[in-house]
Every structure is written in C-alpha cells, then in structure tokens.
Chain A
C-alpha cells in the first residue's frame, strides 16, 4: 500500500506548479478591497493602454491590510485599493502606505477627498442619503439624519447592521459634527424606531421599504441606481417605489452640514517594487475615462469635478456634501462602533 508515498509525490508536484511569484518587469501588483467585477474592467483597460500587466488579489479590506502588515518589506503589493475613508486612514496609520505627492492627482482631486499628507487618494464618491417610500412618506417630515430619531418614525425605520463600515463612518461623521452625547441620543432614538432587527445589506433595506416593512432607510445611492437600471421587472418595481432625500441640506450650524459622503480610494504601498507603474495606474484611475466608467457602471459619483455623470445619478438631484475631512471618519471609527454597541444597534 503505497498510497501515502504516491500522495506525497503528487502533492509535491502540484506544489511546485502553484508557487507563483509576481515579479516580472512591467507589472503592477494590486491588493483590492473593491470587488473584482468593479475594478477588473478598468485594470484591463489600463493594461491595454500601457502594456503594463496588472496582478490582482481581492479580499476584505482589513484582511488585506493585515496581510500587507505581516508581509512587511517583502510584500509584492504596489497598490492598495479599498472602499471607505476609515479603512484608508487605518492603512495609513498601520504604516503600509507610502507618502507620495502626485501632482497629477492633486490637481484633479479636491483636497478634502484625499489624505492631507499624500498617503491616499479618493477615486470615487459614494453618497449615503435617506431613501424613502414615495407613497407613504410626507417629504416635509424629512429633514436630517438626526430627525430619524423622532417618534414620527416609530416602527417605520429600517437600518442595515452596524457591522457595515458604511454605517460606522456615518456615525463617525456625526460624532465630529454634533459630539458624542448627541450622537448617542440619536442612535438610541433610531434603534427605538426600527421596524425590524437589522439584517442584510443596503439592497435588502431598499426592498424592505418598497415592500412596506418600513418607510425610510439610509443607503448608498449606487444600490438604488443598480435597481433602477436592472433589466429585471421585480427590481424595477422596487426602484419605482423609492426616492432619494438629501438630508442636512439646510438648518442652523452643524445640522446644515450636508449629506454624508464617503470615498473609495487607493494609495501606493510603502514597500512596492514598481512605484513607477503604480503611479501610472493611480493617474489612470483618476482620468476622465475611468471616472466616467465608475459613474456609468456602478453609479458612483466621480471625484474629479466636471466629469459628466449618468442620467440615473442626475435623477437623484442636486445636493450639498458634508465637507468633513474624510480621515476623521477613520479617527472616530472606534468611538462610533462603541456608541453603536451601547445603543444596541446590532
């Protein structure tokens, strides 16, 4: 019975086949927390334009960050792409990103949407407004995120789990605007108003509002955009019942700070072996063509002013953005999670 020896030989042979080192000359190695479907087409386009091959690993932001940290100076990664400014900030403080002043990007991307020290650059904008059921909500009752804690909304609010970094960043921004105590009150009030325990993603909240489980929710606009553009009648039916409300557009002091926005972005890694190619890639991702692609395909807003947006995004209307420096979202993240824990927001 030499099953064991045979197994050993096979395993060894396979193992040799599988050892991959991504070290060829004209390449750039990317660790991306953006899903492959939402980044690969752009990377392919970049490769076609420049002849630079792009190697890609996708994964969850914090796991990739951990991998970068553990790999240290031997890490093959040149570029780290992730969603949420909080994560970008975390990467900066973890010491895995390289400080790099890139004039090409600085000219195009507004200062509030990139790191002040040049560790990372925002590449797309993601809005997180209130979305409501057109038929059941009197728009006059909507005003701000804070007002969702009012008793009018008792049993009418749906929220995604506080595990979602989008919600964590929303709360982090609120801590900056109205302080810890007021934020805690707001969270307590919203949890009181929940129609059902938080579960599922943003799309599930939108479907819940359309189905009448609740009347309002907070969600990223690109999920609504995707339902609007879907070729499935069920999705279109959901979308037809919903509308966007831009909160905190007026009001005194911080109440009029504007709607919550976040970015997806990228930075060069500290130990990248192909900085030249990596810079080229970042410049490409901020180009007009790439910016338009984000808007058309994933309904995200471009970071570069003046780039045309799709009709779907136009239909959501005009808005004022909360001008908060995005790295604050990262700095306040831990406090935000603690406040959500205390409020019992699952």
Chain B
C-alpha cells in the first residue's frame, strides 16, 4: 500500500505543508469584525474591487498584446534582428515592477526632465497642456504589462517552438493560409501555455503592492495594507487577503473547466526545422517595431535611466555591494532549487497517479503566488514560531539552554515563504513540460517494471530539461526581485539588493536607490540569458 502510494502520500504531505501559511490566513475568516467590514463596505471596498478588476483586465490585455505577437514573430517568422530579439525580449523580466514604476515616474512626472523640458521650450505652465499622468491606474497597467509580458512571451514561444511543424504544414496543405493556420491551429494549440503565462502575470498583478501604492491606486492589495498598517488589524487584513484568494480560486477553476478533457501533447515526433515565414520590406520593419516596443520601454529606457542615476548622481554603494549581491544570489539560487525540486515531485505524483486528493492539493498549493509577500510572511511566521516554541519547551524540559528561534528566526523561514509564494511558477513550467511527454512513454517504462521515481529520473527529467531549467531560472529571478517577505523574515544584519533599494526609495531617495536597483537587473540578467540559451537548444535554428 505505502509502496504503491508512497509518492502520492509524499505529495499530499508536502502540498499540505506548503498550504499551511495560506490556511493560517484563511483561518482569520472566522474572526470577522462586522463593524469594520460594514465601514469598508460603505466607503472603500467598491473602489478596491473596481480598481483591481480594471488592473487585471488592463494588465491581462497588455501582456497578451505584448507577449503573443512577439513570441509568434520570433519563433515563426524571419526578419532582420530576429535572433537577438528572441532573447532580448526576455530582459524586462529582470526589472522589478516597483523599480520600473520609480524610474518612469522620475522621467515622466511633472517635475521630471521630460515635462520640465516641455515647459521650458513652450513657456507653458502646469495644467496648460495635456500629458500622460504616470501615477494613475493607466500608468500602473502600462508599468506592469511592460515587465510581466515576458511570462506570456516565454511560455508562448516555447509552445510555438515545440509545436510540430507538421500540423501547421498539414493545415497549409489543406488550403489554410499562413495566418489562418496561426489563428486556427497554432494559437489554439499554444493556448495552455499562453494561459499559464497569463495567469502567472495576473497573479503577480494581484499580489503587487509596491507599484499601486506608489501610484496612489487603491486596489485590493493596498486595501489589505491600509487595514494592516492603518487599522493595525491583522485579522481584517487577512480577511481581505482571503477574499482575494477566493477570487483567484474562482479564476483557476474557470480556466480548468474551460479546458476540461482537452489533451495537448503533440502526436508527432518530428522536431524538424521549421520553414520560417520570410518577411521583407515594410512587413519586416513592422515586425521589428512590434518587438522593439516592449524591449525599449520595458528594458532599455528604465535600465538606461537607472544606469545614468547610478553612475552620475547617486551615492555609490561601496564594497557593501559584494555582500548584498552574494546574499541575493545565494538566497535566490537556493529557493529556486527547493521550489523546483518540490514542483517536479508534485507534478509527477499527479501524473503517476492522478487521484483526486493529489489533484486537489496540487491545484491549491500554488495559490500563494496571488497573495502579497507580507501576508505570506505572516502566514509563515505563525506556524513556524509555534513549532519553535514547542522545541524550546522541549529543550528547557530537558534542562538545556533554549536554542532560540531555529525556524522562524533563520533563513529557513525565508526559504519556506519563497517556496509558498513561487511554487506556482515552478509548477506551471514543470507541468507544461510534463504534459508534452506522451503517456505512452510512462506505460512503456512501467511495463518494463520501473518504479514511478525511476521513470521520472530516467525518462521525464531528461526529456523536459528545458522546462525544468525555465522553472529554476524564473523562480531565481522572482526571488531576486522579491521584497516584502524578505523584509519581514530576514535574520539580523542580513540585507539583499532589493531590501537596500527599497530602503532608499521609501526614504524618498529614488536616485540613491538606483545602484542597488541596477544590480538587481544585472544579476537577474544572468539567468535570463541562460534561459534563452536553453530554449535555443530546443530546436535547431
């Protein structure tokens, strides 16, 4: 029994542990404070809901518009610049949303260089001319779309590249035009990947606090913090977070339902070189422009501005940057290893035995991604501190010295929080990779008497190497950018680049925050470039 179901039992246990912080948050629902809810209902709740929905809609459309066409162009068409654009389009992934927001505000605000210049040459004053108000809901949508579209681009491109060329060709031989083949074949076939990328972007949007707070947009997340900081009311804040979660659960279920029984693995073995659609003249120019827009606005301009500030205006970081970089790097690397290892085991447990309990916990273990880091951190602190207190009591019962807070006071708490928060990212990529492997390979393996773990090791992991790498690298970049959980849970005298950038920025010293910000971007670039190399190897170019 245990031998047969060992993997399932393990998966359920791990997933349950990872859900613990989320459950802690949900448990606050019991202690609802009627008066406070009544007040919020009468005053601010409507704003939170409407703004959050508009933000989701806006960022959703934004990331699709920026991510899918660029993925299609770089994987299916040939035009000048395609090769370098195919990796360069990933670069905005390395820019945290709150940092791109600071940067563009510095540039486009009424007191920034652009508007000052307009006023200087025209002699107009503020209010005499129209200018895009960056600190607005629209601004927040643009900022987040610019840095979150790579999730969609990455997943869609991988899907386009792995689609067997033959199905497109069959479509064409049956009389479809290239574009018809795109709409009727390629896009529907890539849908699970596109939706996976989209849902990552949307969950990240829901969890974002830094950008909306800085822009003064009242969303559900700013509401959570207003309740937590303003009212000092953890319970009400947790209840708001729980409602946010309920919304996410609904979204996920809708998506699952709409897919139902559809299967998306490709039947063909051939990974033959695709005949890229050659684009020339104005079409090639247009394609180039479509790709340059997200790259330019999502990376070149903000990184350029940060670099300018860092080099010419900011207080230099000094030798401290070595320890900041090392802390950030090692933490992100470790968290990525842990999250992806668990994701592989969980995804595989479901594949090996798709029984209800396993599917259920798996679906829920990724919800942490939609919760703000601070809320996750509190959900992590409470159970870990509880265990710590039991351990201390045990030690003292034996007459030993208290070992202190072994779990909640150390980096273990941080790693736990990162795993809870970012498991969804790893899981998405790993599951997408697994789905593409035909079940017949599993049957073959099992008929030869291999255990599920042996099949995982010998067949699946090698076959989905690039999906696993993608997962590692995305979690790495995400942890590198993560701020709120790091801020609360880190041990004494432990700083990361994100913490340093935040401290200076929240002290209203944006320019001085630039060196740390640009370092996050630079360290984040390393895996983004590796990621490209791994995708490029998937199909002969």
Complex Cα distance, B337 from A141, in Å, reads 63
Minimum Cβ distance to chain A for residue B420 (Å): 16
Tell me if A's interface is mostly helix, strand, loop or mixed.
Answer: helix
Q: Does A26 contact B (CB under 8 A)?
A: no
Contact B215 A168 (CB under 8 A): no
In the complex formed, the residue of B with least CB distance to A344 is B43
Tell me if B's interface is mostly helix, strand, loop or mixed.
Answer: helix
Please report the total number of A residues contacting B with Cβ < 8 Å: 71
Known interface pairs A20-B410, A75-B405, A337-B231; 10 further A-B residue pairs with C-beta atoms within 8 A, sorted by A's residue number: A1-B458, A57-B493, A70-B381, A74-B388, A165-B229, A168-B230, A204-B508, A232-B313, A337-B230, A346-B216
Please report the total number of B residues contacting A with Cβ < 8 Å: 81
Q: Please provide the 6 A-B residue pairs with the shortest distance between their CB atoms, ordered closest to farther.
A: A199-B216, A55-B492, A18-B411, A207-B111, A199-B135, A203-B508
Q: Mark A157-179, 1 if CB is under 8 A from B, else 0.
A: 00001110100100000000000
Contact B405 A76 (CB under 8 A): yes
Q: Mark A325-346, 1 if CB is under 8 A from B, else 0.
A: 0000000011001100110001
Cβ contacts A to B, 18 pairs, < 8 Å: A4-B344, A7-B341, A18-B411, A19-B411, A59-B487, A60-B229, A62-B228, A64-B488, A66-B378, A197-B135, A197-B136, A199-B135, A203-B508, A208-B111, A211-B115, A213-B126, A333-B230, A334-B231
Contact B503 A36 (CB under 8 A): yes
Complex Cα distance, B405 from A43, in Å, reads 24
In the complex formed, the residue of A with least CB distance to B340 is A7
Contact A63 B377 (CB under 8 A): yes
Minimum Cβ distance to chain B for residue A297 (Å): 12
In the complex, what residues of A have CB within 8 A of residue B218's CB? Answer: 346
| Interface segment, one of A8-16, A110-118, A146-154, A312-320 | A8-16
Contact B491 A11 (CB under 8 A): no
Q: Does B385 contact A (CB under 8 A)?
A: yes
Complex Cα distance, B509 from A223, in Å, reads 10
Within 8 A of A (CB), among B226-258: 226, 228-232, 234
Q: Does B367 contact A (CB under 8 A)?
A: no
Minimum Cβ distance to chain A for residue B314 (Å): 10
Q: Does B441 contact A (CB under 8 A)?
A: no
Within 8 A of B (CB), among A171-194: none
Q: Mark A76-108, 1 if CB is under 8 A from B, else 0.
A: 100000000000001000000000000000000
Contact A57 B492 (CB under 8 A): yes
Complex Cα distance, B377 from A199, in Å, reads 27
Complex Cα distance, B499 from A126, in Å, reads 25
Q: Does A240 contact B (CB under 8 A)?
A: no
In the complex formed, the residue of A with least CB distance to B334 is A14
Q: Mark B397-411, 1 if CB is under 8 A from A, else 0.
A: 000001111101111
In the complex formed, the residue of A with least CB distance to B510 is A203
Minimum Cβ distance to chain B for residue A208 (Å): 7
In the complex formed, the residue of A with least CB distance to B511 is A232
Show the binding face of B for A, using Cβ within 8 Å.
39-40, 43-44, 105, 109-111, 115-116, 125-127, 133, 135-136, 213-216, 218, 222, 225-226, 228-232, 234, 313, 330, 334, 337-338, 340-341, 344-345, 374, 377-378, 381-382, 385, 388-389, 392, 402-406, 408-412, 415, 457-458, 461-462, 468, 484, 487-495, 499, 503-504, 506-508, 511
In the complex, what residues of B have CB within 8 A of residue A58's CB? Answer: 487, 499, 503
Complex Cα distance, B348 from A191, in Å, reads 56
Complex Cα distance, B340 from A60, in Å, reads 30
In the complex, what residues of A have CB within 8 A of residue B507's CB? Answer: 35, 37-38
Minimum Cβ distance to chain A for residue B27 (Å): 14
Minimum Cβ distance to chain B for residue A161 (Å): 5
In the complex formed, the residue of B with least CB distance to A90 is B232
Contact A208 B402 (CB under 8 A): no
Contact A7 B337 (CB under 8 A): yes
